[in-house]
Every structure is written in structure tokens, then in C-alpha cells.
Structure 1
Amino acid sequence: MKKICIFLFTFIFNSAAFAQTIKTGVLVIGGGAAGVAAGIQSARSNVKTIILEPGPWLGGSLTSAAMCVVDGNRNFPSGIWGEFRKRIKEYYKTTPGFDTTSNAVLRFEPAAGAAVLKKITDTAKNLTVHLNASFTGIKKDGTGYEVTAKINGENAIIKAQVVVDGTETGDVAAKLGVPFDVGFESEAQTGEKWAPKTALPIIQNITWIAILRDYGRAADRTIPKPEGYDEHLYTSLQSKNIKQTLESGRLPNDKFMLKVKGVNDYPVTIADFASASAKENAYQQARLKTLGLVYYLQTKLGYKNISLDNLEFASVDHLPYLPYIREVRRSKGVIKMVLDDIYTPYSRSSKLYRTSIGIGDASPGQHLLPLGKAPETNYGAFPAYSISAGAAIVKDFDNFLVAEKAMSVTHLVNASTMYPSVQMTVGQGIGCIAAYCAFFKTTTKSIKLRLIQNEILSYHGYLMPFLDVKQNDPQFIAIQKIGVTGLLQGVQKPSGGSAPVFFLPDSAVKTAEIKPVLSEIYTRSFLWFNKTKPAEFFTIGNMLSFIEELNLRDAKTFRLQIQNDWKTKLHLNTAFDISRPITRREFAALADVYLKPFDRSIDLTGKLLN
């Protein structure tokens, strides 16, 4: 009888410990800015998708970390990022004073951002979101992965064809054993003239942002004195214009985002992320530093009426659920983006702009403490740029993709790509890659980049950061496609600390700018150029002649067809005159329809494939 009882107990215990098994095409672990965009896009691309988010909200840095004053990518309403911007503006359309200008700096309450993302995900077919759910392990399972997790307090095993690490700190990649880079690479390692001569294991500080509320001039909402409070940490505030500092972080409904460089930053090292206990200790110290800042603001600078909003977050101290994390570790990807891929994308041997899955224009920032002991980089006029697919694909780990701060970029590039609005655009691209691999039952080694890029464009994403060609332009997609082939290159125009990129659609095309790429793509090009010898400016007649030569078209019939299609099919509002120089807009429209250079396959370095 005793043996039977032991057997029954063992059976019941093992049954209770048994985990449910869930199968999915794509699993996104971490619902931050990139993770949520990847999950939404994968589901919209008709693949069963799961998002596991350990916290109570989707959005990561944008919401749970309260980085809710967003200026990066404000000129580019790309795909899901553009949808998020639009819905935030609709949310606040009746709020007095809210700036609804199309490219205004986006300001929102974190809870509102989380609500908007929940509404988007709730209406996405094929998408399941599990909040307050954590992954506990991951291992390879054929061409896919087996992930162990806790969902609703129960053990679960998720078998996924593709896994996306959307965590803020690259936790999934670390668990899987992906090799990483940490801190500053040296100039010799990356070829970046901006890099230090010696590699430095310094990573950017974390910041525990505070969301404050003005409770009225007569109110006294002074918080308790924080543990370990040292007012000397905050004396630099006395030299700042506090009203201006608060105003820079103004949010709707008399609230403020408080983030002061060098004041509530908290220095960390990679050791602070080596274990759960080390991370928790660093996070607690960062929280106390920000609470000290609020206390100093109230007791030394006289702002007793401005205090933590006790309705925004359900945390005990009313601080955000997460710190704003800028950098931890960067995985070793199929390629590594360096600063030259941003400053001089067209002159490099690798043409990573051709492999774009997202764009960015966020000004790079470096938060490094202690001040004066870490190198500050002078980025100069920083250009808008494209983000390479290979930076999200981990080398030697098929069907495993990384986002956020785990992408394969240098320390100096990460200072911009880590920005949440940039991550939302790249997350959408990652979602397209993941969906492609799951849908076609293939691996990241065999992806067809042009099909993935076409999917991004079909969902209103950007591949090239052309400031002067908006999404409502009838040639937007054609110009994006021609731009990403390199046939017509963007032009950087430095202005202060930034260098916007322009397509210049109404400028005339010069023969010298298109001849090299036409010759690279079309082997018979040299015959046409030798025979025709076009002048300095390429004409409409030259373009039609080139198309006729490559496609063996009858000239008279084809020119009559183009004349008839000029304003209807091609949506060109200029006069049809074969003798005048062709504009970049006209060239893009004709090339996209009749030459189809975008259809030419490329590898992850941008090299054309036969």
C-alpha cells in the first residue's frame, strides 16, 4: 500500500509539473518598441505569432521606461511607427495645446502609449500576446527553437520556427550562447575614425526616468526622503533653468518627463547584467538616484507642488517599470554596421543600404559616467540612414533574430539605432524576415531580401530616408525601390548637428551618376552606352532608347505607349518631351516599371547575385 501511495504521489507531482506545448511560426520574446512591431508585422504577414512580454505593458522604452518625448524619426511615419504616431495624435486630438503637426515631437503619457499598442495588437489576427510572461530557457530544435516559459503562472513549452529577441538587454541571445561585443570598439577593429585608439569596455548609463505631475501651486506633494539620499549629487541643477528643463519634457495633462543628463543617469557595467541579482541591485540604485532628484527638486529648488504621478504606474514608488537602457551587449551578426555605412553609404565596397529593412535619423547621444573619464564622440552632422537586414540576423544561429541594443552594430552606431522610434521601424523589418522564414519554411540563410523589402513597402514602411518624398507621393514606392538599388543616390545636406538626406525628385539626371549602376545590373549596358554616347544630362529619349535596347521593344510603338501612359499609368504631371533632360522622379517611375532593377537579387552585403 505504501508503494502504491508513493507511485500515485510521484505521478500526480509529475503531472502537475508537466508543461503545455504550444506551436507557433514566430515567437517574439520581449514586447519593447522593436518586439511589438516585429510581432504585429509577422502576424499581418499571415504567420501565427506569439509575443511574450515579462512586464504588464507593451512598448518597452516608449512606455514601461517612460521615454515618451520622442523626436527621432519624426519626419518619417514609417509603417507601424507611423501608425503609432497617428493613433497617439488621435488619442489627444481634443486635449488643449497638443501639437498635431505632422512632424512635431511626439509627446504622450506612458499609459496612453501602452493603451494604443494594446489596441493595435488586440486587432491583429494571428497574434497572441502574453503579458507578465517570462521565458526561462531556449534551445535549438531542428531549424527552429524550443523555448520554456511561464505563462499565467504555468509552465509552457513553445516550439517556434523563428525566434526574435526583442528584450532590452539581449537576454535571449545571451541564454542561447550568442557571442557579443561590449563597449567601445577600437579604430583598428571597425575602421571608424571616430572610435578610440584602444577598445574600452564602457557602456552607456541607464536612466530611471520620472513622470511628474503639477498638482497646483498650493499643493505640497513632497515625497519621503529616499534611502541613502545625498544632495551633493544634484547640486549641478542650481546652474540650470529648471522651468526650461521641465518644459522640455512637458506631456499632456500637466505632466512632465524628467530626464536630466548627468544627473539621474546611473553608470553600469556589463557585470551589472550578468545575473538577476546584479541587475536588481543596479536597478534599485538607479531608482533611488531618481527619487533623490525628485526630492531635491522639491526641497531645495522649491517645487513641492510637482511630484510623481501616482496614477501612471502601479509600482510602489510610482516610478516606471523599467529604466531607459541605451546599451548592454551587441551580438555578432552576419554583418556589423559601422559609422561609414551611415556617413558614406554609397562609396563603400559593401552596399548595406541596399539591404535596408528600416531607417533612422535619431541624433546619437552618449550618456557616460563618470564625466570626463569616458570619451565623448563628436559626430558632427549626423545623416539619416538605412539599417541593414544583416545587423538583425545572428551569425551561425539560423532563424534567430535580434533587435534593440543586441543588434550587430558598433558602439558608436548603437548610440542612434537604440532609439525607440528607430527600433520600431527596424522591428517591422525584422517581423517581415521572421514571417518570410516561417511562411516559406526556410531559414535566414536563404531569404530573398527583395521580397522582404517589398513586403515592408506594402505595409507603408520606408527603406530609404528621403526627406523630400512623402508617402502620399504617387512615385513614393518607385523612388524607394530605385533608391535602394543605388541607381539614384540620396544627397546629404548638413544642417547643424544633422544631415537630412534628399532625393531631389525634380533635378535632372546626369549620365555619370547612373552609368556605373546600370552597367553593374545590366550586362548589355556597355553596348548601348558605346553606341549612343549620351551627353552630360540623360534625356527622356535616352531613357526610352535604353529600355528599348534591353527589352527589344519597337521604338515607335513603345514611345507612343509611354506618351499615352505618361500622366495616367505613370502619374507624371510634367510635359512629355523626349529631347529634354529626364528628372529623377521620371527616371525612377520609368525604371521601376520597365527596367525593374529592384527585382535583381542581392546578398546580405548588397552584392548583386546572378
Structure 2
Amino acid sequence: MDRRTMIKSLGIIPATGLITTLKAEKVDGRIESPQIDTDILVIGGGTAGTIAAIQAGRAGCKTILLESGSQLGGTMTTGGVCFPGLFYAWGKQIVGGIGWELVTETVKMNGDVLPDFNKPFGRRHPKHQILLNAPLFAMLAEEKCIKAGVSIRYYETPVNLTALKSGWNVEVLGKGTHIAINCKQIIDATGNASVAALAGYRRLKGEEVQPGSLIFELEGYDLSSLDFSDLSKKFDEALKRGFLLKSDAYAGVKGLLTVKGGLATQHILNADSSTSELHTRANIEGRTSLLRALRFVRTLPGCENARIKKMQAETAIRETYRIDGLYQISHQDYIEGKIFDDSLSYSYYPIDLHVTHGVSPKHLAEGIIATVPLRAFIPKGSRNFLVAGRCVSSDRLANSALRVQASCMGMGQAAGAAAFLACSEGKSPADLPIERLKTLIRKYGGIVP
């Protein structure tokens, strides 16, 4: 039995998908610069980019997915915020398709149970969020990409873009690789709009960004035996002495000791991932903060043996750059639930702007569901270029809600479908027939306004 037949016989991933991925890397002891041709190049394998790549691959386009890290899922997996929401609003599902398929398969394979979406939750939106097994989500996402024919390239990042008559030439560097990829359409799903910047398109960013959070869990104590009234006094004393910072545990000592899953209790001020230097600083500050918190916790009665149960490798980032798109979704658009002629996906989440000392979500009025138009995916002055995810064109308040994972999955599927249709019809995304695009999204289970 040859290698191709043996791999295919395993029934896990198609042999063609695996071999396509491996053939793209030519390393024989020296750096080579081969030319690779593809239809669609998705850059960033996070929440939005993964879904965009699967959609483009399933629709029939030759697709490459570049990811600078070691796994798919981004903030949900590497960042540890494995608590995606919200897929339902006011008693009906508003985000479905490929993202929902991936989430529900992860829940089922892990033996978990979905929330009861029929129960009203009022302002307690976490009741409709879904805690996922993050490593399993990453593996299933990878498998779905390969089955869709997507060529995944980890540890690679674009360093230069050149516009062509009908697409792009992208210079890419990686571990022992230096390649050029010719593509017809680009989807920037980096979260920072970093590829849009390489292409020369304008980005938007406030004077400050929302704090980030290092996701962790502590153990080694019995919660039922702790006197939280006394512990809160000691917490306040530690703040006054400067032994602890409020940002180390913005939800107080109880939040610090009871945090579970993908929830955050810590803030890293001005955390930014748009450059390696800034991301390095955010990671170091996140771990320094956790050390302070752990040392404090171990001084508390009943917590002398506290230890770290889990800690993510990276500080999760909430906000950096957004594109200056053909349309900028405003805070007013979002809270009014404005539906545009070119709306392609829904978003339902409170305005969720984190600040120095915590967060106070501002919930949407009953019955309101926001939407995302195609024009918000397209940088001004661009051709054959889309973004997906939190770098969508929006003001800061609207973006604080749009950035969440279910919304990003909906945007990712819309962007993948738009890139496919643009390739098929030889058009730039801004020129696409909207009804045909909506029909395509629905074909793959997506929910469109």
C-alpha cells in the first residue's frame, strides 16, 4: 500500500488535502522562493478566517490559509476565550452555517450540552454562551479545512503585497520558507487589518485600545470553606499597599478565585497585538499580573496551596485596528439594528467596551439585532480585497460588540462566499450582485438578513 492510499484509508482526512498542504513547502536545506498560485488567500486562521477558508474551499475555490501561529481558532483557542456567543437572539437563531456546525460538533464530541435557547435570559447574556473544549475545536476546525481542500500553512506571514491586474502577488516568510503566492482575492482575517496596511489601505485606531486578558484558572483550595467577606477586606488592603493592582482582578477576589473556562478576570491595559513588540509586552504584562495575583492568593487563609491549573500561552486581545471601509458601521447603526441593502450577516451582543476597572455591558433593546453590510468588509480604494472579523469597518463602540466570536463566524462565512463569487464572476467584491451572494451563503447554511 503506497503512502497516499494508506492515509486515505484512515478515513480521517482526505489524502489529497494533506498532500496539497505538504507540497507547498519545499525545504531541502536552503530557503527557496517558489511561486504558488491559488484563487483565494485567507490570512489569519482565527475565528473569522477559519470559517472564511472553509466556505471558500467548500464552494470550489482553490484556497490557501496562512496562520502565523501553530493552530486555528485564534482568540478562542490560543487566547483561551472558548466561550463563543451569541448565536441566538430573542428566541431565534441569528448566526448559523459553518461556524455553528463547528461549534455544535465540538459540543457533541466532548459530551457537552447546549444551553436552552428557548429560555429568556434578559440581561444575563452569558447564559446563552457555549463553553467549548478549545483543543478539540482547533482540531475539528483543521480537519474541516483539509476536507474542504484548503491548504493550511502555519508559521508564515505576508511581508509584501503587489497588486496585479486581476489579483495579488504576496511575498510570504516562514520557518525556512520564502515564497510568493499569486491569488485572485485576499481575505484579511488577522484581527489587526495588518494585510490591509501592507496593501496601503487606511486603518482606524483610537488613542487607547481596550485592555486584554490572560485567561487562567487557579485551584488548590476549597471554595465552600472560604470566608469571602474577610478575603475581600484583605483584597482591598492589598490594593492600598500596592501589593496588587485593581487590573489584576477587576471582578475582585471572588472573581479571581472562581473564574472558570474562557472567562476573564484580569485586564492588561492597552494590550495590543498589531506588532511583535507590542504583543510581546502584552504577554509579559499578562504573566506578571498573574504572578502578582497568585502570590496574593497564597497569603489568604485557606488558599496557602493555591496553584495555577491552566494558563494560556498568549494574552487575548480585544481591540487594535479596524479598516476604513466603504461603509463604517456606527454605534447608532448597531443599537438600532439597521438593515442595509447589502447586509450579509447578523450580530447580537451588548456594547461591551472594557475599560481600566472593568466592563459594564450596554444591552440592546428588546427585539433589536444588528447587521453587517458587505461594504464594511471592503477597504476604501481597494480591489479584490476583503476583511473579516474584528477589523471590520466600524466605530469603536460598535466594534466592541461586533468583535465577539459568533458575529465573527458569520462575517467569516460571508467574506468566504463573497471571495468565491468574485473569483467565479471575475469581479471585485464591491461589484457583486447581493441577492446572488445571499443565496450562496444560504446554500451553506448561513443566516442572512
Per the normalisation by structure 2, the TM-score is 0.78
Counterpart-to-counterpart distance in 2, 1:414 and 1:338: 9
Q: How far off its partner does 1:118 sit?
A: 1.8
Counterpart-to-counterpart distance in 1, 2:274 and 2:262: 30
SS at match of 1:328: coil
Q: How far off its partner does 1:208 sit?
A: 1.6
Is the CA contact (8 Å cut-off) linking 1:43 and 1:127 kept in structure 2? yes
Matches within 5 A, 1:178-577: 178-183=201-206, 201-210=207-216, 212=217, 214=219, 231-234=243-246, 240=252, 242=254, 249-250=259-260, 256-257=261-262, 259-260=264-265, 264-268=266-270, 275-300=275-300, 302-303=302-303, 307-309=307-309, 319-345=311-337, 352=340, 354-369=341-356, 378=362, 381=365, 383-464=368-449
Q: 142, 147, 172: which one pairs with 1:123?
A: 147
Counterpart-to-counterpart distance in 2, 1:428 and 1:304: 48
* Aligned counterpart, 1:177: 200
Q: How far off its partner does 1:268 sit?
A: 1.3
Work out whether 1:148 is the aligned partner of 2:132.
no
Q: How far off its partner does 1:293 sit?
A: 2.7
Is the CA contact (8 Å cut-off) linking 1:31 and 1:166 kept in structure 2? yes
SS at match of 1:405: coil
SS at match of 1:106: coil
Q: How far off its partner does 1:431 sit?
A: 0.4
Is the CA contact (8 Å cut-off) linking 2:65 and 2:152 kept in structure 1? yes
SS at match of 2:279: helix
What are the ranges of 5 or more consecutive residues in structure 2 without an aligned counterpart?
1-28, 118-127, 223-240
What are the ranges of 5 or more consecutive residues in structure 1 without an aligned counterpart?
1-14, 184-200, 218-228, 251-255, 311-318, 465-610
Paired letter, 1:85? V
Give a deviation string over 1:76-108, Cα, whole Å, max 9, x none.
351012102211221222xxxx43345453112
Counterpart-to-counterpart distance in 2, 1:307 and 1:422: 35
Counterpart-to-counterpart distance in 2, 1:236 and 1:207: 9
SS at match of 1:87: helix
Q: 73, 81, 93: which one pairs with 1:67?
A: 81
Work out whether 1:33 is the aligned partner of 2:58.
no
> Is the radius of gyration larger for structure 1 or structure 2?
1
Is the CA contact (8 Å cut-off) linking 2:50 and 2:73 kept in structure 1? yes
* Aligned counterpart, 1:477: none
Is the CA contact (8 Å cut-off) linking 1:355 and 1:389 kept in structure 2? yes
Counterpart-to-counterpart distance in 2, 1:239 and 1:108: 23
* Aligned counterpart, 1:92: 110
* Aligned counterpart, 2:191: 168
Q: How far off its partner does 1:230 sit?
A: 5.9
Question: Residues 235 and 35 from structure 1, CA distance in 2 versus in 1: closer, same or farther, beyond 3 angstroms?
Answer: closer
Question: Residues 398 and 436 from structure 1, CA distance in 2 versus in 1: closer, same or farther, beyond 3 angstroms?
Answer: same
Give a deviation string over 1:320-364, Cα, whole Å, max 9, x none.
233222211111111111123233356xxxx51x31221111222
Give a deviation string over 1:114-148, Cα, whole Å, max 9, x none.
12212222322x31111222222222122311111
Bigger relative CO (Cα 8 Å, ≥ 6 apart) = 2
Is the CA contact (8 Å cut-off) linking 2:345 and 2:372 kept in structure 1? yes
Q: 31, 34, 45: which one pairs with 2:59?
A: 45
Is the CA contact (8 Å cut-off) linking 1:130 and 1:151 kept in structure 2? no
Paired letter, 2:107? K
Is the CA contact (8 Å cut-off) linking 1:88 and 1:108 kept in structure 2? yes
Is the CA contact (8 Å cut-off) linking 2:248 and 2:289 kept in structure 1? no
Give a deviation string over 1:264-287, Cα, whole Å, max 9, x none.
211117xx5664324322332233
Paired letter, 1:326? R
Structure 1 stretch 415-424 or stretch 334-343: which is displaced more?
334-343
Give a deviation string over 1:564-608, Cα, whole Å, max 9, x none.
xxxxxxxxxxxxxxxxxxxxxxxxxxxxxxxxxxxxxxxxxxxxx
Q: How far off its partner does 1:150 sit?
A: 2.7
Question: Residues 23 and 302 from structure 1, CA distance in 2 versus in 1: closer, same or farther, beyond 3 angstroms?
Answer: farther
Matches within 5 A, 1:124-139: 124=148, 126-139=149-162
Q: How far off its partner does 1:29 sit?
A: 0.6
SS at match of 1:52: strand
Counterpart-to-counterpart distance in 2, 1:108 and 1:305: 28
Counterpart-to-counterpart distance in 1, 2:350 and 2:251: 25
Question: Residues 59 and 357 from structure 1, CA distance in 2 versus in 1: closer, same or farther, beyond 3 angstroms?
Answer: same
Paired letter, 1:81? G
* Aligned counterpart, 1:576: none
SS at match of 1:207: coil
After superposition, the CA RMSD in angstroms is: 3.0
Counterpart-to-counterpart distance in 2, 1:307 and 1:258: 18
* Aligned counterpart, 1:522: none
SS at match of 1:19: coil
Identity of aligned residues (%): 21
Q: 91, 100, 103: which one pairs with 1:82?
A: 100
Q: How far off its partner does 1:422 sit?
A: 1.0
Q: How far off its partner does 1:164 sit?
A: 0.8
Work out whether 1:19 is the aligned partner of 2:36.
no
Question: Residues 298 and 331 from structure 1, CA distance in 2 versus in 1: closer, same or farther, beyond 3 angstroms?
Answer: same
* Aligned counterpart, 1:468: none
Question: Residues 23 and 378 from structure 1, CA distance in 2 versus in 1: closer, same or farther, beyond 3 angstroms?
Answer: same
Is the CA contact (8 Å cut-off) linking 2:212 and 2:316 kept in structure 1? yes
Is the CA contact (8 Å cut-off) linking 1:168 and 1:325 kept in structure 2? no
Counterpart-to-counterpart distance in 1, 2:250 and 2:321: 35
Structure 1 stretch 60-69 or stretch 438-447: which is displaced more?
438-447
Q: How far off its partner does 1:70 sit?
A: 2.7
Paired letter, 1:288? T
Counterpart-to-counterpart distance in 2, 1:305 and 1:39: 45
Is the CA contact (8 Å cut-off) linking 2:40 and 2:61 kept in structure 1? yes
Question: Residues 231 and 116 from structure 1, CA distance in 2 versus in 1: closer, same or farther, beyond 3 angstroms?
Answer: farther
Q: How far off its partner does 1:231 sit?
A: 2.8
Counterpart-to-counterpart distance in 2, 1:328 and 1:386: 21
* Aligned counterpart, 1:113: 137
